[in-house]
């Protein structure tokens, strides 16, 4: 199925699913083929004005949702139990696929309310808000090849997307879901370091952004590894060698491994409680 014939329902038009919707509209989904579901009639009116697609509440929108090819669940994890309870008994199209972006809500939990249904659990990250996300998708046993292609095209409208087993979603969350914050943490520290050396604040802020953007683009363009590019910058006993020595003695690599490990463990804990 191509995106310009796709009928899509979105429950919870917040930051993440709103970004996905914008990406989909850019990629060819027709606004008249979208139905948004908000938390109240008042919020539906607001969302309709914001996104220029038809919006209603779950109570009034079930008939419209029964016609969609893809149902995106974009509410917060703590709202999911109520939404899933409201969706129980809904008749979806035989080939419809349900996609949840709710962190921690498992395929089994969603499947309890929507039995015998193709369901994908997805974990996007915040760069999806600017079309540069990295999303993991995990299917349940009912998801077929055509549905996989469709769901991948949805997340490719806001960046890159990969298929994983559900058991790997927590590790993906610990690295790539939380990852933007690690990058911002490092950028923050580099800004502080530049200021400490006496550089002007505006120059340092803009410079650190250009540093990260430029380095990422160089890595992508050269299609090599970060290790290789790092090695190319180092001259024995030069400035970069001194800087890297300081990073190694502070065990920054170990700290980052620990950050990913702790975030992964936390994602596991949260999955058990949702
Ligand atoms: N943001 C991220 O980086 C990110 C990354 C990965 C996964 N996620 C997942 O994405 C989901 C949404 O996160 P978010 O940051 O986009 O949150 P958000 O901006 O708060 O969006 C959730 C939206 O759900 C709507 N809503 C609340 N109750 C509802 C109900 N009963 N029925 C229908 N809609 C309802 C709310 O809008 P109205 O009240 O206006 O209807 C709200 O805007 C979460 O489950 C999160 O785990 C987010």
Q: Separation of 102 CA from ligand 1 center, angstroms? A: 8
Predicted confidence at residue 2, as pLDDT, reads 84
Mean pLDDT of 142-161: 97
| CA nearest to 34, candidates 213, 176, 154, 142 | 154
Residues 70/97, Cβ–Cβ less than 8 Å: yes
Ranges in the chain annotated CATH 3.40.50.720: 3-164
pLDDT at 274 over 70: no
pLDDT at 273 over 70: no
Q: Separation of 248 CA from ligand 1 center, angstroms? A: 40
Closest residue to atom 48 of ligand 1, CA basis:
16
Ligand 1 test: best mutation among 14, 110, 133, 270, most atoms within 8 Å of CB?
14
pLDDT at 133 over 70: yes
Q: Separation of 74 CA from ligand 1 center, angstroms? A: 5
Task: Name the superfamily (CATH) of residues 177-271.
Answer: ProC C-terminal domain-like (1.10.3730.10)
- Does 16 contact ligand 1 (Cβ within 6 A)? yes
- Does 57 contact ligand 1 (Cβ within 6 A)? no
Closest residue to atom 43 of ligand 1, CA basis:
14
Q: Separation of 14 CA from ligand 1 center, angstroms? A: 5
With cut-offs at 50, 70 and 90, classify the pLDDT of residue 271.
confident
Q: Separation of 36 CA from ligand 1 center, angstroms? A: 12
Supply the pTM of this predicted model: 0.94
State the chain's maximal CA–CA distance in angstroms. 70
Q: Separation of 205 CA from ligand 1 center, angstroms? A: 31
Q: Which atom of ligand 1 is nearest to the CA of 47?
A: 40
Closest residue to atom 9 of ligand 1, CA basis:
102
- Cα dihedral 259, 260, 266, 269, rounded to 10, equals -150
Distance CA 16, CA 124 (A): 8
**pLDDT single digits (tens) 170-195:** 999 999 999 999 999 999 999 999 99
- Does 121 contact ligand 1 (Cβ within 6 A)? no
Distance CA 117, CA 90 (A): 11
With cut-offs at 50, 70 and 90, classify the pLDDT of residue 141.
very high
pLDDT at 1 over 90: no
Q: Which atom of ligand 1 is nearest to the CA of 125?
A: 5
Ligand 1 test: best mutation among 74, 80, 172, 178, most atoms within 8 Å of CB?
74
Distance CA 10, CA 68 (A): 10
Ranges in the chain annotated CATH 1.10.3730.10: 177-271
Distance CA 65, CA 75 (A): 16
Distance CA 40, CA 82 (A): 14
Check: CATH 3.40.50.720 for 3-164?
Answer: yes
pLDDT at 139 over 70: yes
Q: Separation of 256 CA from ligand 1 center, angstroms? A: 29
Predicted confidence at residue 43, as pLDDT, reads 97
Mean pLDDT of 256-270: 96
Distance CA 186, CA 243 (A): 14
- Does 124 contact ligand 1 (Cβ within 6 A)? yes
Mean pLDDT of 111-130: 97
């Amino acid at each position: 199925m191509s995106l310009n014939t796709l009928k899509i329902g979105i429950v919870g038009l917040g930051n993440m699913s709103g970004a996905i919707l914008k990406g989909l509209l850019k990629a060819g989904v027709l606004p008249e083929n979208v139905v948004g579901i908000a938390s109240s009639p008042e919020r539906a009116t607001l969302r309709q004005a914001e996104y220029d697609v038809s919006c209603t509440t779950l109570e009034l929108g079930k008939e419209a949702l029964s016609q969609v090819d893809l149902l995106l669940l974009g509410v917060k994890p703590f709202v999911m139990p109520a939404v899933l309870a409201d969706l129980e008994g809904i008749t979806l199209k035989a080939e419809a696929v349900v996609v949840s972006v709710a962190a921690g809500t498992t395929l089994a939990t969603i499947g309890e309310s929507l039995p015998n249904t193709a369901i994908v659990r997805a974990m996007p990250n915040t760069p999806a808000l600017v079309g540069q996300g990295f999303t993991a998708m995990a299917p349940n046993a009912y998801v077929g090849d055509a549905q996989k292609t469709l769901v991948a095209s949805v997340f490719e409208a806001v960046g890159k997307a990969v298929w994983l087993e559900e058991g790997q979603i927590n590790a993906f969350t610990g690295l790539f879901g939380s990852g933007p914050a690690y990058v911002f943490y490092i950028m923050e520290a580099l800004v502080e370091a530049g200021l400490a050396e006496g550089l002007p604040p505006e120059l340092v802020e803009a410079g650190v952004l250009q540093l990260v953007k430029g380095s990422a683009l160089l890595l992508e363009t050269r299609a090599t590894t970060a290790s290789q590019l790092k090695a190319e910058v180092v001259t024995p006993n030069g400035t970069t060698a001194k800087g890297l020595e300081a990073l190694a003695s502070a065990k920054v690599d170990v700290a980052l491994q620990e950050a990913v490990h702790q975030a992964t463990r936390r994602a596991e804990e949260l999955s058990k409680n949702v």
